[in-house]
Amino acid sequence: MTTTTDTSSPPQLTGRAAGLVLAAVLLASFMELLDATIVSVAAPAIAADLRAGEAALQWTIAGYPLAIGAGLITGGRIGDQFGRRRVFLLGLAAFALASAGCGLATSPDLLIGMRIAQGLAGGLMIPQVFGVIRASFAPAARARALGAYGAVLGLASVAGPLLGGVLVEADPFGLGWRAIFWVNLPIAVLALAVGGRFMPESRAPGGSRLDLPGAALAALAAVLLLLPLVQGRDWGWPWWGFALLACAVPVGALFLAVERRRAARGGQPIFDPALLRVRAFSAGLAVCLLFFGALGSFFLLLSLYLQAGTGRGALETGLVILPYAIGSILTSGVGAALAGRAGRALPASGALVLAGSQVVLLVLVRGGEPSSWALAVPLFLGGAGLGLTAPSLINVVLAGVPGKDAGAAGGVLNTVTQLGGALGVAVLGALFFARLDTAPPGPAAYTDALATILPWQIACYCTAAALMSLLPRPEKETP
- pLDDT tens digits, 408-428: 677 788 778 888 888 888 889
Burial of 431 (0-12, 13-18, 19+ CB in 10 A): middle
Same structural domain for residues 13 and 96? yes
Across the range 449-457, mean pLDDT stands at 95
Same structural domain for residues 205 and 189? yes
Same structural domain for residues 331 and 257? no
pLDDT of residue 253: 93
Contact 354, 378 (CB under 8 A): no
Residue 478 has pLDDT above 50, yes or no: no
Residue 377 has pLDDT above 70, yes or no: yes
> Would residue 18 count as lying in a domain?
yes
Contact 209, 267 (CB under 8 A): yes
Across the range 161-183, mean pLDDT stands at 90
Across the range 211-229, mean pLDDT stands at 85
pLDDT of residue 150: 62
Same structural domain for residues 128 and 232? no
> Would residue 15 count as lying in a domain?
yes
Residue 347 CA to residue 206 CA, distance in Å, equals 38
User: Which of 232, 249, 267 is at the close of a domain?
Assistant: 267
Same structural domain for residues 23 and 154? yes
One-letter amino acid at 238 equals P
> Would residue 307 count as lying in a domain?
yes
User: Which of 168, 195, 211 is at the close of a domain?
Assistant: 211
Same structural domain for residues 479 and 380? yes
Same structural domain for residues 343 and 408? yes
> Would residue 13 count as lying in a domain?
yes
Name which of 192-201, 299-308, 324-333 the model is least confident about: 324-333
Q: How many domains does the chain have?
A: 3
Of the pLDDT bands very low, low, confident and very high (cuts 50, 70, 90), residue 357 is: very high
Same structural domain for residues 177 and 299? no
Across the range 91-110, mean pLDDT stands at 96
> Which residues, other chains included, contact 375 with Cβ-Cβ below 8 Å and sequence gap of 6+?
320, 323, 361, 364
Within its chain, how far is the Cα of 229 from the centroid?
19
> How far apart, in Å, are the Cα atoms of 415 and each of 208, 382, 425?
19, 23, 16
Burial of 209 (0-12, 13-18, 19+ CB in 10 A): exposed
> Would residue 272 count as lying in a domain?
no
Residue 161's CATH number? 1.20.1250.20
More reliable by pLDDT, 381 or 141: 381
Across the range 366-388, mean pLDDT stands at 92
> Would residue 479 count as lying in a domain?
yes
Name which of 89-93, 94-98, 107-111, 364-368 the model is least confident about: 364-368
Across the range 33-48, mean pLDDT stands at 88
Same structural domain for residues 164 and 223? no
Same structural domain for residues 171 and 87? yes
Residue 232 domain boundaries: 212-267
More reliable by pLDDT, 146 or 245: 245
pLDDT of residue 381: 95
Residue 270 CA to residue 285 CA, distance in Å, equals 15
Same structural domain for residues 55 and 177? yes
Contact 326, 415 (CB under 8 A): no
Across the range 165-193, mean pLDDT stands at 92
pLDDT tens for residues 264-313? 888 878 788 888 888 888 999 999 999 999 988 898 899 999 999 999 99
Residue 3 has pLDDT above 70, yes or no: no
Same structural domain for residues 318 and 440? yes
Burial of 477 (0-12, 13-18, 19+ CB in 10 A): middle
Residue 16 has pLDDT above 70, yes or no: yes
Q: What percent of the chain has pLDDT over 90?
A: 36
Contact 158, 169 (CB under 8 A): no
Of the pLDDT bands very low, low, confident and very high (cuts 50, 70, 90), residue 372 is: very high
Residue 421 CA to residue 288 CA, distance in Å, equals 9
Residue 117 has pLDDT above 70, yes or no: yes
> Would residue 125 count as lying in a domain?
yes
> Would residue 157 count as lying in a domain?
yes
Across the range 205-213, mean pLDDT stands at 71
pLDDT of residue 109: 94
